[in-house]
C-alpha cells in the first residue's frame, strides 16, 4: 500500500466479522390475500394473535394481491399467504411457483384455508 508516494508496510486490519442478527429488530410479516378471500381476515387475526401473545417485535403488513403480476412480484402462493422476513411460513413450499389462486394449508386433520397456529409459531421461531 502506498501513501504520498511512500510504501507503507503494515498489515491490513482483519475483516469485520459477520454482523450478528438483530434480535430486537422487528420481523417483517406480510399477510397477502386477494379481495373476497374468506380466509384473509382469519389469517390476519391469527398473525396478530400469535405476535401479541409472544410479545414479538414485528411489523405486520396486509397486502392486497390484485393479479398474476402482483402474485409473481410478492411470490404469492395463494390467498392467504403469510411471509416472515420475506419467506413463506411453509418451508416445503418456498420453491413453489407463484399462484393467483386460493390456498390450502395441509394439516393433520386435512386441509384448511388458514394455517395452523403451530405452523405460524414455527416460522416465527425460525426467523
What does each of the 127 residues of the chain score in pLDDT, given as a tens digit? Answer: 444 555 555 554 454 444 435 566 789 999 999 999 999 999 999 999 999 999 999 999 999 999 999 999 999 999 999 999 999 999 999 999 999 999 999 876 667 899 999 999 999 998 7
- Residue 84 domain boundaries: 24-126
pLDDT value for 2 = 45
Q: Looking at the domain assignment, is residue 35 inside a domain?
A: yes
The count of other CB atoms within 10 Å of the CB of residue 87 is 14
Q: Looking at the domain assignment, is residue 15 inside a domain?
A: no
Report CA Rg, the chain: 21
Rounded CA separation 17/88 (Å): 29
Q: Looking at the domain assignment, is residue 91 inside a domain?
A: yes
Q: Looking at the domain assignment, is residue 36 inside a domain?
A: yes
Which 8-state DSSP code applies to residue 39?
T
Opening angle at CA 115, ends 112 and 124, nearest 5: 170
pLDDT value for 19 = 45
pLDDT value for 89 = 97
- The residues near 98 (Cβ < 8 Å, ≥ 6 apart) are 68, 71, 72, 74, 75, 76, 77
pTM: 0.79
Which residues is 111 bridged to in the sheet? 106
Where residue 106 sits, what CATH number does that domain have? 3.40.30.10
Number of domains in the chain: 1
Q: Looking at the domain assignment, is residue 76 inside a domain?
A: yes
Q: Residue 33: which region, alpha, beta or left (left: phi > 0; alpha: psi -120 to 50)?
A: beta
pLDDT value for 16 = 46
Amino acid at each position: 500500500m502506498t501513501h504520498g508516494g511512500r510504501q507503507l508496510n503494515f498489515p491490513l486490519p482483519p475483516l469485520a466479522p459477520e454482523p450478528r442478527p438483530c434480535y430486537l429488530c422487528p420481523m417483517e410479516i406480510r399477510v397477502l390475500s386477494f379481495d373476497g378471500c374468506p380466509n384473509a381476515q382469519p389469517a390476519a387475526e391469527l398473525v396478530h394473535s400469535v405476535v401479541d401473545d409472544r410479545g414479538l417485535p414485528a411489523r405486520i403488513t396486509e397486502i392486497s394481491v390484485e393479479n398474476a403480476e402482483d402474485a409473481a412480484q410478492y411470490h404469492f402462493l395463494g390467498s392467504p399467504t403469510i411471509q416472515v422476513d420475506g419467506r413463506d411460513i411453509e418451508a416445503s413450499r418456498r420453491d413453489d411457483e407463484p399462484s393467483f389462486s386460493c390456498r390450502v394449508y395441509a394439516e393433520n386433520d386435512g386441509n384448511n384455508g388458514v394455517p395452523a397456529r403451530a405452523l405460524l409459531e414455527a416460522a416465527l421461531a425460525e426467523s
